[in-house]
Copies of this chain bind each other. A is one copy, B any other.
Amino acid sequence: MTAKGIKRISSPAEMTRYVVEQKQEGKTVGYVPTMGSLHEGHLSLFKKARENSDCVIASVFVNPTQFGERDDYINYPKNIERDAGLAESAGVDALFIPEESAIYPNGSDITVKVHSKTDVLCGKSRPGHFDGVATVLIKLFNIVKPDTAYFGMKDAQQVAIVTSLVRSFHFPVKLVACPIVREADGLAKSSRNVRLSVEERKEAPELFKGLQAGLRGAKLGETRFDQLIATVKAYYAKHLTLGKIDYVDVLNYPDLRRSGTLLSGRFIIACAVRYQNARLIDNITSDTELFTTVSEADESC
C-alpha cells in the first residue's frame, strides 16, 4: 500500500508552519498522536477527527521515554508505508513523522513527572511510562497546536492523565475521548491480538464479558468497590483457563481513586490479563450502555 496523497512532514518547524497556514485560512485542526502500528482503533480516532475538523493531523512517533526497556523501544514495530496508507484512507491530511533527535533536541534535559493517577492499573507496573507520555505530549501539542486532540479509551488511564495535563498546564486544546473499538465478539481491538494462539483468541472475548458482569452488578445496585472487583474476578475464575489475571480494578473516573468504599459518580472497571505472548487490557466505564451491541459501539467513534 502506498499513500501518495497524504502530506508527510518530519521537521517540527515545518509542521508548525503547516498548521499556522491552515489556521490562517480559518481551518480548525484536529490531531491524533500515535506510535504507528495503526489498527482500527486508531482509524476510529482519525475518522472522528475528520468529522469534527477542517484539517486532520496525525503523528507517528515511537516515543523512547515512555518505554521501560530500551529493547521494547527498539523492537517496537514500524511500518510507515502501511501506516501512511491507512491514515490517508481514514481522511488524515498530514502525517507528522519526526526523528527522535527532532523531538528531543536536548535529549531528556527537562522532563515531566506525573505524581497522580499513576500508581494504579497499568501505571503500577510501568514506572515512568506516563512521565514519558506527558513529556512528549507537551512537545507535540506545542508543535501541532491542535484545536482538538483525540485519544482512545482503550488506554483509559492515559486519557485520565492527559486530561490532567491539559488542565494543569492550561493547554489550549480540547480533548475528545473515543470509545474502544471491538471485534464482533467483543474483544477490544489491539495490535497485540495477533500474538494470541487460536485457543487464546477464542477465550479473549471473556475479558469484556467479565467487565460487563461487573457493570451489570453495579447497575443492579451493588455499590461496594471490593464486591464489584470480586464479581469480575469470579467471572474470570470461571471463564479464563489460559489467561492469568494481572489486575482487575474498579475506580472513580477520571480521578482514578476510590472515594470511600462505595461507588458514586462516574467509574471505570478495568482489567489486564496475560497470555503466552500478549498482555491484553480492557475496560468499561459506568456511562457505557450495558446492552449496546458491538456494532453500534464500533460506529460511535
A275 → chain B closest CB, angstroms:
33
A134 → chain B closest CB, angstroms:
6
> Do the beta carbons of A115 and B111 come within 8 Å of each other?
yes
Closest 8 CB pairs of A and B: A109-B116, A142-B170, A106-B168, A143-B170, A110-B168, A110-B114, A139-B170, A138-B169
A84 → chain B closest CB, angstroms:
23
16 further A-B contacts with Cβ under 8 Å, apart from A110-B161, A110-B164, are A103-B170, A104-B168, A105-B168, A106-B167, A109-B116, A109-B117, A109-B164, A109-B168, A110-B112, A110-B165, A110-B168, A110-B169, A111-B112, A139-B168, A139-B170, A142-B169
Closest chain B residue to A173 by CB distance? B142
Q: Mark A155-181, 1 if CB is under 8 A from B, else 0.
A: 000000100110111111000000000
Closest chain B residue to A115 by CB distance? B109
Determine the chain B residues whose CB is within 8 A of the CB of A108 once the complex forms. 115
A219 → chain B closest CB, angstroms:
30
A141 → chain B closest CB, angstroms:
9
A110 → chain B closest CB, angstroms:
5
Closest chain B residue to A138 by CB distance? B169
> Do the beta carbons of A105 and B142 come within 8 Å of each other?
no
In the complex, the count of this chain's copies comes to: 2
> With the chains together, A114 CA to B170 CA distance in Å?
20
A171 → chain B closest CB, angstroms:
6
Chain A interface (Cβ within 8 Å of chain B)?
12, 16, 103-106, 108-117, 134, 138-139, 142-143, 145, 161, 164-165, 167-172
A143 → chain B closest CB, angstroms:
5
Determine the chain B residues whose CB is within 8 A of the CB of A164 once the complex forms. 106, 109-110
Q: Which of B12, B114, B138, B143 contacts A109 (CB 8 A)?
A: B114
> With the chains together, A117 CA to B109 CA distance in Å?
9
Determine the chain B residues whose CB is within 8 A of the CB of A16 once the complex forms. 170, 172
> With the chains together, A106 CA to B12 CA distance in Å?
30
Q: Which of A103, A104, A105, A112 is most buried by chain B, counting CB atoms within 10 A of its CB?
A: A112
> With the chains together, A113 CA to B135 CA distance in Å?
10
A199 → chain B closest CB, angstroms:
42
Determine the chain B residues whose CB is within 8 A of the CB of A111 once the complex forms. 112-113, 115
> Do the beta carbons of B171 and A142 come within 8 Å of each other?
yes
